[in-house]
Amino acid sequence: MQRGFSSQLNSSSLRPGELQLSVEHLQLNFGGVTALLGVDLQIRQGEIFAIIGPNGAGKTSLLNCISGLYHPQRGRILFYHNGEHDLTHLRPHQIARLGVARTFQNIELFRHMTVLDNLLAGAHIHMKSNLLASLIYWGMAQREQIQFRRFIEDIIELLEIQAIRNKVVATLPYGLQKRVELGRALALRPAILLLDEPMAGMNTEEKEDMARFILDVNEEYGVTIVLIEHDMGVVMDISDRVAVLNFGQKIAEGTPDEVRNNPLVIEAYLGEEHAALLSRPFSKS
C-alpha cells in the first residue's frame, strides 16, 4: 500500500534515540493518597514505551501529569523539542502546543461533532486563519484550509476511516470511536503520542487493527509512543521498552523479555494466575 503524508506527521525535532521525555522523581498526592511516589522515566525519540501495572498503580495519573491535567507535588518533567521544556507547571493546552498529543482511557471525543470536525479540532493549533479571514472565508483562509484538509485526509486514509468522515461521532461504534480519537491526536502533528489504553474493550480483530495503526505511526512516521495497556500480549508484542508501576512506584523497567522474566514483576504485580500468561511465547511481528 502506498501512503504518503503531504506534510510531516511527526513534529519532533530530535533524531531517533535521543532523550525526548524525562520524568524525574515524580510525586503526586491527592489529599492523603499517594498516586505516584518518586517515579523516574526516560523516553527516547522513536520508541514505543509501554507503562503497565495493576489498576490504581498510577499509570493514568502519570500520563495526566505529563499532559498537564495533574500537577505533581514533587519532581519534574522535561520535554525536549527545539530545546528543553519544563512541563511540570505548564497548563494542558500549552503542553499540547509543544507536540504532546494524547488519547483517553474513556473516550473523550467531541461527541456532537463529525469525525472530520473532530480531526480539525485536533489540528486546531495549526490553523492560522484569524477571525477576519475566517469570516471572509475565501482567499487565504480557503487556501490554508485546502492544504490543511489534505493533511487531515492523509490521517483519514491512514486510519481507514474514509467511510465515516462525515458521521457524528456519538453515532459510531466503540471501536471506531477509539480509532477516531487516535486520529484526532495525530492531527495535532505530535512529537510524542500518549495512548491511554487504546485497545480497552475491543475484540481481537479491533485490537489487531489498532496495533497495526500504532505500529504504522511509529515505524513509518517515527512518532514516539507512550502506551498504557492491559493486554499483555499486545504490550509484549509491540513495545520496545516496558515500565511497570505498582502502588505509584516503578518496580521494573526494560525490554519486554526482561520485564516478563523479572521475578518482582511476576510476584508483586501479576500474581500467580498471570505468571502462566507471561511465560507464553511472543513474537515480534
Q: Are 28 and 34 in contact (CB under 8 A)?
A: yes
Please say which residue, 100 or 251, places its beta carbon nearer to other proteins: 100
Please say which residue, 1 or 131, places its beta carbon nearer to other proteins: 131
Q: Are 62 and 227 in contact (CB under 8 A)?
A: no
Nearest CA among 183, 207, 262, 233 for reference residue 50: 233
With CB under 8 A as the contact rule, the residue among 102, 207, 241, 250 that binds other proteins is: 102
Please say which residue, 25 or 128, places its beta carbon nearer to other proteins: 128
Mark the segment that binds other proteins (CB under 8 A) among 130-138, 157-165, 215-223, 260-268: 130-138
With CB under 8 A as the contact rule, the residue among 3, 25, 71, 93 that binds other proteins is: 93
By CB under 8 A, residue 166 contacts other proteins: no
By CB under 8 A, residue 240 contacts other proteins: no
By CB under 8 A, residue 120 contacts other proteins: yes
Where do we find the cell 486510519? 159
Q: From CA 139, how far away is CA 159, in angstroms rounded? A: 31
With CB under 8 A as the contact rule, the residue among 7, 73, 134, 147 that binds other proteins is: 134
By CB under 8 A, residue 11 contacts other proteins: no
Backbone dihedral region for residue 271 (phi beyond 0: left; psi -120 to 50: alpha; all else: beta): left
By CB under 8 A, residue 168 contacts other proteins: no
By CB under 8 A, residue 252 contacts other proteins: no
With CB under 8 A as the contact rule, the residue among 41, 65, 101, 192 that binds other proteins is: 101
Please say which residue, 104 or 269, places its beta carbon nearer to other proteins: 104
Please say which residue, 135 or 276, places its beta carbon nearer to other proteins: 135
What are the grid coordinates assigned to 274, written together?
Answer: 498471570
Report in angstroms how near the CB of residue 193 gets to other proteins at its nearest: 11
Task: Look at the chain and count its residues.
Answer: 285
Q: Are 241 and 254 in contact (CB under 8 A)?
A: yes
Report in angstroms how near the CB of residue 161 gets to other proteins at its nearest: 18
By CB under 8 A, residue 200 contacts other proteins: no
Q: From CA 39, how far away is CA 26, in angstroms rounded? A: 5
Please say which residue, 183 or 256, places its beta carbon nearer to other proteins: 183
By CB under 8 A, residue 104 contacts other proteins: yes
Please say which residue, 67 or 262, places its beta carbon nearer to other proteins: 67
With CB under 8 A as the contact rule, the residue among 38, 54, 56, 92 that binds other proteins is: 92
With CB under 8 A as the contact rule, the residue among 24, 42, 85, 113 that binds other proteins is: 113
In whole angstroms, how far apart are CA 24 and each of 36, 151, 160, 208?
A: 11, 35, 38, 34
